[in-house]
Chain A
């Protein structure tokens, strides 16, 4: 793993222990006061990566911290390592600003070290999930917020509905019932549509090549990107994205298809 200065501001003992165990090979982890407002600014300023929880010990969300760091320390990569509980995800969503690279690692299920490694290599990017959630959550029933948050943020990883439902402390069948009650598409359609949007976002916003997007999405061939977006983003492909109205057009089409159940 490439070296770099990693800081952790974790106040929950379990998260602190898991993070330290997982990052043992990454080098020394600098423990910061969980209330970063009282941390030494020069120490925070010297970091390459900061691992934080979505909510601090006083019950405050991290959005103010993320906004401040994005302005004053734009080079600092922020990783949120926290459990997928409803109020923690609510605080997380308030910090997932489109265009600001910040990554969520689902504790204790996902490995933290590989995300830290990508952050040290300067490869964190703002995902389409940030944009999707800003549009979708205001429309969604509250009992779907946790699943939809995980689906929007983890779609690119290729994880399935059953796993995301389990992380949501639910089952695939319950998620399907909730989606059906809301008149929305199936969980598979939701997940694949988010995945297609993420691929188009990376190409449109970051100018990533199909090859790089393929790696990010764990697809075997670059042609898989075209098939994915054609099938799940209203027929839009990387080649037709511009002429069809860009990412916004794809987003609009996916939002319409996700929130209406086809007969």
Chain B
């Protein structure tokens, strides 16, 4: 008689965990600065050093904690003001469709 085997149930898939960039977003160089342009809405954001780094890291579809921590680690800045600044950018970008939750 075959032994009875109980397989563990697969964990339910959790959505709303990773941030992804819109594939339709465009980064244009205007003079000496980069500008991030939202698809369809015409929303545009001049990218400063933090913005450029954020957009770059978002290409790896990170967890938000990993995104904030990587910038904290690289910059040596205090976590609290940095996190508020990063999250404000993310929310503004999300509102015009530049990033979305997956």
Contacts and interface: CB of A to CB of B under 8 A. Distances in A.
B57 to A, nearest CB: 12
A71 B88 contact: yes
Main secondary structure of the interface of B (DSSP, over half): helix
B50 interface: no
Interface string A197-241: 000000001000000000000000000000000000000000000
A214 to B, nearest CB: 22
Contact of A61 (B14, B68, B69, B70): B14
A63 B64 contact: yes
A47 interface: no
Between B11, B65, B78, B90, the greatest number of chain A beta carbons within 10 A of the residue's beta carbon is seen for: B65
B15 interface: yes
B84 interface: yes
A133 interface: yes
Chain A interface SS verdict (over half):
helix
Given A67-B87, A67-B90, A71-B88, A94 B82 contact: no
B84 A90 contact: no
Interface residues of B, number: 30
Contacts of A93: 63, 65
Contacts of A248: 73, 76
Given A59-B14, A60-B14, A99 B64 contact: no
A58 to B, nearest CB: 8
A126 B68 CA distance: 13
B72 A63 contact: no
A28 B76 CA distance: 42
B66 interface: yes
A164 interface: no
By CB atoms of chain B within 10 A, which of A61, A85, A246 has the most? A61
A133 to B, nearest CB: 7
Nearest to A91: B14
A134 B12 contact: no
B42 interface: no
B68 A94 contact: no
Contact of A98 (B16, B72, B90, B91): B72
Given A59-B13, A63-B101, A87-B12, A126 B80 contact: yes
A170 to B, nearest CB: 13
A94 B79 CA distance: 16
A135 interface: yes
A94 B76 contact: no
B82 to A, nearest CB: 6
Interface of A: 55, 59-64, 67-68, 70-72, 74, 85-87, 90-91, 93-100, 126, 130-131, 133-135, 138, 205, 246, 248
Interface of B: 11-18, 63-66, 68-70, 72-73, 76, 78-84, 87-88, 90-91, 101
Given A55-B14, A91-B14, 19 more contacts: A60-B14, A64-B16, A67-B91, A70-B84, A72-B91, A87-B14, A94-B16, A94-B65, A95-B64, A96-B65, A97-B65, A98-B65, A98-B68, A98-B83, A99-B79, A130-B69, A205-B78, A248-B73, A248-B76
22 contacts: A59-B14, A61-B15, A63-B16, A63-B101, A67-B90, A70-B87, A87-B12, A90-B17, A94-B17, A94-B65, A97-B83, A99-B79, A100-B80, A100-B87, A126-B80, A126-B83, A130-B65, A130-B69, A131-B72, A134-B70, A138-B66, A246-B76
